Chain A
Amino acid sequence: MFNTISKLSLLTFFILLFSVISVKAQNKKNTLLIIDPLGKPISDVYVQVISGEYTYTDLTDNKGSAKFGKVENIFTVITSHLGYGVEQKQFTVNNKAIYKLELIPVTTALQDIVVTAKEGKGLSSSSIINRKAMAHLQPSSFSDLMELLPGGKASEPNLTSTNRVLIREFGKGGGQYNTGSLGTQFMIDGAILNTNADFQVSVDRNGPTHNTTNIGVDMRTIATNDIESVEIVRGIPSAAYGDLTSGLVKITRKSGFKSLEARLKTDGFSKLFYLSRGFAVSATWDINVNVDYLNAKSDPRDITQLYNRYGVSIRSKKIYSVGLSDLSWQTNLDYKASIDKNVVDPDVGYEKIDRYKNQKHVFYLTNKLEQRFFGNSFIDKLSLQTNIRQAVENLKQRKLVQFSGPTSISVATETGVNDGYYPKTTFVSNFRTEGRPLDIQAQLKGEGDFTTASIKHNIEFGVDYRYSKNNGKGQIYDVAQPPSDNMTTRPRSFNDIPAHQTLALFLGDRMEYAIQKHKLSLYAGMRLSKMLDVSQEYSIANKIYAEPRVNLQWNFPKVIIGNGELISGVTLGYGELYKQPTLGMLYPNLQYLDFTQLNFGHINPDVRRVNYMTYVVDITNKKLLAAKNVKKEIRLDLGYKGHSLFVTYFDEQMPSGFRSVSNYNSYVYKLYDTSGLDIANMTAPPVLAELPYEDKAVLMSRSQQNNGSETYKRGIEFGYYSPRIKALQTRFTFMGAWFRTTYKNSQPIQEKPNVSLAGKGYEYIGIYNNDTGFEKSGMNYNLVVDTYLSSIDMNISASVQGTWFLREYRAFKHDAPIAYFGLDGVIHDYTDMDRTDTYKQWLIRPVSVTDNMEERLPFDVQVNLKVTKKIFKSLGVSLFVNKLFDYYQPYYFNNKKVERPSSTNPYFGMELTYNF
């Protein structure tokens, strides 16, 4: 039934899509396209076209285009715009009827120098970080840019472990609340960084980890040097973007002619080197090339953990003029390598043998064909973007294994009784995880506009297909020489795992309507997405996810106050977003439970015998669904004489985040008794059939993925930007956010107390309503004072930032279970009688008086200083000192004063940039 409905809705969607495309018929006119030096269209330019008797006026739209009628052979265009001044240019009529005009901003550079993130004024709340801000921030990796978001703070770089992204939250709860970072989509020049086929987990559970599986993008792997600008969409992205719940990071890299540029950065943790050049092959063809290298250590004094990042990128962009349109063809070829190397701590491992090397080499080939139609065609833009990403991931380890005591292992691959064997106690284990994730994305997208009843429509529509498959050989090791004695898996090839495929259709319309001096913009979009080629046993197989997204902006008329204009607007948004489960969640590795039935370690090796009952447990949760986040937000924008202010309230509810939960089952096996054997005179191993035995049953848990993690984020983000005060050439930026985030389980959990009684394992499992949950609320602030001394081309900024207050409350935890079950699996209610039972009394969890008590952390502050200066025309020097000063106010908890000494030393670095 549902299937039919979803098919119908797909059909309807297509019909709608094509009918919209076919609606186009308007008289042709001339088009003037106004762009800035970066090629970006400039909207709201007042255009006057004068040609003999003809005079036309128009305002450019958001694509930078203005239209005019018939003109004589030579005509004059006069443009005027607040930021670009008045410009006049003569044109000669051409047969394309398209004319381009590039405007150069006239405002003194002063107002444009923004060293913080700018808040986007669009329909969705976003932070825009430009090159200037990045140059001033002096980042080592993308992680450092997160400081610029509302609520962000500078933190010491940690380049030797995974850096996950956190948007609109403080973060808590470890691995159970990773859906936020997994559900943040990173895009570089329109190409998504797909992590759905990431299986790169070490075979050795006890070794070092740099895992990113089910965590999302590791931000330290993204270099910032080549980034022209970043838009971090915190709010509701348009329907063109999907497979995300929490945020969207759109990275645009440098393009077009650029003189040779070099950057050299060093700080206490890392060295960075970067070289780039943009060539203009012809007027319509640019090639950009760059190389990038980073070397980092976990600690300047510690060489046990090293991280290296390499990047080479060649990007070409060519624009062909075809008839009435421009066809731009952009192709990027990228190579990136990210290598973690651990030199084993001699105190723990065996340094001569033990090795850990986690290498990820990634090749990207992205192609984007974009056809722009000028004139009056309904479709303005059609683009086809294809991205192919092939990674070569090798996690190679070597380890001297020395079992603590004689050990037996089972090598069975199927459920059943089997004889194990006694491996040598000392051997060298070689093991590796070989991943070859291949990600392909193809997106066909069209944009067009039309007007109905004075409403300007600007629509986007398209198809988005994504494919992720890991063709790696997977986890490889010799089962007879495993890296540890507690293996619960067997080698598995990733190649056997089906591909992760999603198909999505999207349609969105951005409508603009002006009524008197009010301006209303409404974006309404819908994304339909479906996983393809999933076995029918999975609940997700036939699910079509509909993701409505609506944003409404109301710009009020300008109000004159004093000698300035007050600009104001309100933006509202609602969106539903889904993140599909990853391959690792849908196809987890089989788990092996090897129960010892007999372990007869006789002195004589010929009569030894070890026997197992092995259970192969499939932990796949076929009911796993996509995680859903519902975002709601309201934003107020105010502007007055160069001052601007925004305040956003958001509410994001994600009750179905991914979670790894323990599910208990009982397993039976036999325990053979060899006490009756004549040990001294044995000549052959014991025969099982001749031995007495005891039936044993044990409750064991296997972790399984489900949709049981709830993350509920609420908050207020705010920012105030002053104009650059002329006298001081100084700008004040005050940003911050109040976040309140709840992390808790949304489904009852099973727990077994950590206890063994009377020589047996504990034989009851409690079912509890709540796991340890957290509620964190607090406010971060960041005041940036930056001064630009134009006479010496120097920029100085000080940021005073910290947490104004932070409250942490552990979600209420009840000590008693709601029910329990034993070895038979029958669920019983937990009663007061059970509280005094020898065994069931242990089901009462220890919950202390402070477990349900709020912790209130007061004010803290840190001061950072950054300076950027042009020494010569081509040489720039920057330096920064973070935590130049810091203070953490002590607080009281449970009537106890808690001192918070400054945790780290100042962290500083410097860099040189050359522009030849």
Chain B
Amino acid sequence: MKKRVLAIIVAVMSLTMTTISCSSDDTAIENDQQSQVSNLRLEFNTNKITGFKSFEKLTVVLVELNTGKEILADLSEDSTKAIVAAKGSYRVTIDGIAILESGDKVGIASNSEVKLINAEDKLTLSLIAKAFANDFIIEEVFFTGVVSKEGKGYNSGKYFKITNNTDKTLSTGGLLILRSAFNSAIKQNNYTPEIREEAMPVGGVLYIPHEIGKEVEPGDFIVVADMGLDHSAQVSTAFDLSGSDYEYPNMDNPRLGQVDSPGVPNALVIYSEMNFNMFFLHNRGFESYAIARFPEGVTVESWLKDYKYDYSFEFAANGRVVDRTHYKVPNQWILDGVNSSVQAAWEHNPIGTSVDSGYTGVGTEDGDPARFGKSIRRKQLGVMENGKPLYKDTNNSTEDFIQWGTEASLKNGIVH
């Protein structure tokens, strides 16, 4: 850190010196200096920053590859300003924040090498958007299902798309997928105790045991589907989810007769407010979803023992108090969460503001017939260094997600 401050001071001083020397009439000195330095002008390719408008912050670090000497330049005010550096071979690193046309801000970065041999040199840098999070995020939840060409609802083929929005490889082992206990379209009075700012009341939890955990590269995603198979073979409008990473078919309810796909490992329903381990997604999306991990020392068993959530609420219409029991997951354990509803029916957010301060949803009216085949999906900010998409994550789903719903991304099958 100290080094960096020093480098900035040096850089600023050198720029000032350059300016002074430029304005000087002493040509001898000028010639001498000009023979040794180069004016580097940077050009930025912002194709990969969707909706780029301007820079809020732009710092450049040049490191001379032979000497290790660093030059720092701040181009926040003017990105076209030249950087004066001694001739040589440099690694150029860009760090900054871009302002998008939507008003959103995104971290940007770039890396390149340049040989400064001329008095005036140019370098074009391709900027990429930079990740914020340090674990998985929910990229998309497809909960609406599809309508067959006969007009009947097809309630399977729903999925969670969970993405590594970081720059490091992550493991899915131990990942929890949480379904909220509360319904965003039904609000009662006096939830007692009200815990949403500390923990999320859950009605169903899926768990990916460590034994079937897998590594996910930065920018890559996993699909957790109810049944990881080709649903389009059942109903032509449904999706081919045969490349799913995990599935949770229900084999316990003797009435359901769901199908287990060989080769797709099964996530475990460690808690459900329903019998027979049933875990279904509300097809109007009046539920919120989150992903979490147990902290060290907490196991499935100990969580089931210690995190029961006994609460009561009061019916707004008649004052009748109802006692309920669910489980809770502390917000600190939550990696990412998204509240879902539709504007016309929204009453409250099942997840607290520290996880998600807004909400998203599919459709604008309750029971919107146009909702089928659509999902809630995060906005893409740009692409990562490896070319994978980078998603917006500001813990406000109203901002982070495409409003109100978009075509499901796996409509044409799973393509990584």
Contacts and interface: CB of A to CB of B under 8 A. Distances in A.
Contacts of A762: 275
Contacts of B235: 402, 425-426
Contact of A593 (B251, B254, B275): B254
B305 A846 contact: no
B47 to A, nearest CB: 39
B262 A761 contact: no
B245 to A, nearest CB: 15
Interface string A342-372: 0000110110010000000000000000000
Given A403-B234, A841-B308, A848-B321, A596 B257 contact: yes
A727 interface: no
Given A756-B271, A848-B323, A894-B319, A698 B252 contact: yes
A400 B152 contact: yes
Interface stretch (B68-76, B125-133, B310-318, B392-400): B310-318
A785 B150 CA distance: 58
A406 interface: yes
B255 interface: yes
Contacts of B317: 898
A254 to B, nearest CB: 48
Contacts of A757: 270-271, 304
B259 A896 contact: no
B322 A402 contact: no
Interface in B126-156: 145, 148, 150-156
A137 B207 CA distance: 64
Which bucket holds chain B's interface residue count? Answer: 35 or more
B148 A402 contact: yes
Contact of B278 (A426, A756, A895): A756
A677 B233 CA distance: 24
Nearest to A607: B262
Interface string A392-417: 00000000101111111100000000
A517 interface: no
Contacts of A595: 254
Contact of A893 (B254, B268, B274, B318): B318
Interface string B283-318: 000000000000000001100110010101010011
A389 B327 CA distance: 58
Given A405-B156, A599-B258, A759 B304 contact: no
B276 A847 contact: no
A601 interface: yes
B256 A485 contact: yes
Contacts of B301: 758, 838
Of A404, A759, A851, A855, which is in contact with the most chain B CB atoms at under 10 Å from its CB?
A404
B262 A679 contact: yes
B174 to A, nearest CB: 15
B273 A754 contact: yes
Nearest to A900: B318
B27 interface: no
B3 interface: no
Contact of A599 (B154, B207, B251, B276): B251
A842 B309 CA distance: 11
Interface string B143-177: 00100101111111100000000000000000000
Contacts of A674: 260, 262
B104 interface: no
Interface string B228-244: 01110111000000100
B217 to A, nearest CB: 24
Looking at A406, A752, A761, which has the most chain B CB atoms within 10 Å of its CB? A406
B314 A422 contact: no
B124 to A, nearest CB: 47
Given A601-B259, A679-B262, A406 B234 contact: yes
B242 A603 contact: yes
B118 interface: no
B194 to A, nearest CB: 16
Interface string A83-103: 000000000000000000000
A850 B319 contact: yes
Contacts of B256: 407, 485-486
Interface in A743-789: 752, 754-762
B384 interface: no
A754 B275 contact: yes
B254 A594 contact: yes
B320 interface: yes
Interface in A827-860: 838-839, 841-842, 844, 846-851, 855
Contacts of B318: 855, 893, 896, 898
B262 A700 contact: no
Contact of B262 (A593, A600, A850): A600
26 contacts: A402-B148, A402-B154, A404-B156, A405-B226, A406-B156, A406-B229, A406-B231, A406-B259, A408-B257, A425-B235, A593-B254, A600-B262, A601-B227, A601-B259, A602-B262, A756-B277, A756-B278, A758-B271, A758-B300, A838-B305, A844-B325, A846-B312, A846-B323, A846-B324, A850-B320, A898-B319
- Which 3 A/B pairs are nearest by Cβ-Cβ distance? A405-B156, A896-B319, A846-B323
Given A404-B155, A420-B257, A848-B320, 19 more contacts: A402-B235, A403-B234, A405-B157, A405-B227, A408-B259, A409-B257, A425-B235, A596-B251, A601-B261, A603-B229, A603-B242, A754-B274, A755-B274, A758-B271, A759-B277, A841-B308, A892-B319, A895-B319, A898-B317
